[in-house]
Amino acid sequence: MRHIPSLILWISLYSSALLAQPNYVDGAGREWRQLIETQGYAWNEISKVGINGCDTLTGACSGTLSGGLNVDGWIWASYDDVAQLFIGVGVSPPPPIGGGLTVEINSSWAPAMIDRDGAGPDPGYFYRTFDARPNDIIAGITRTIIMNRALAPYVLDDFAADSQDFIMNNARDPRFFSPGEGIWMYRVNEALPPIPEPTIFWLMLSAAILMRLRSRRQPT
């Protein structure tokens, strides 16, 4: 019986490793890159030149951007992609025009999306990209261009009592970057092994323990 606890520990550790996710994965299976990793780029610097950068039509990225940011395998999100992300956390996004705005007092979606410190009681999906106390902000630029302006939606969480949280579309000159603004990027990694559902996991664990017990009871 002394080997069974170690078997349980091994399966538990393996399951935990599979379930760990470095970035937020939405309901469509898209793994969203942390915006804080991609700050400091204008739309023109992200768009593909040769083998480096991101295609402005498909969003497919390869190589590295100036400054050394590796974008291999990532997809530069369109405004519609980001709108679907917002819908998935329970908020209707503003229309895809510069200055579009969605406002709600003491929303549940703003704190759900923003992590203030990377730990503690506020485990949001994205680390904040800008600290404007009493506001926390995540912001990113998309590949969508309207009227020669790049759409850069951002989320603001005002954590003061009875305060207004909002999502707003900035219309950005594609030649310039904005401090505190990253790049909305995601990927779908089909090479990852499937993650067992909890019920399947416990069935596997029970079967492994039962097989171990039967092997020890068989006469030698």
List average pLDDT for each run of 10 residues in the chain, which is 220 residues long: 40 34 79 93 92 95 93 96 91 76 86 71 75 82 94 85 81 89 88 40 46 55
Q: How much is the pLDDT for 218? A: 55
pLDDT tens for each residue of 116-172: 665 545 567 888 887 777 788 889 999 999 999 999 998 888 877 667 888 888 888
Question: CB–CB of 54/48 below 8 Å?
Answer: yes
| Nearest in space to 12 (alpha carbons), one of 217, 210, 209, 213 | 209
| Nearest in space to 196 (alpha carbons), one of 3, 6, 12 | 12
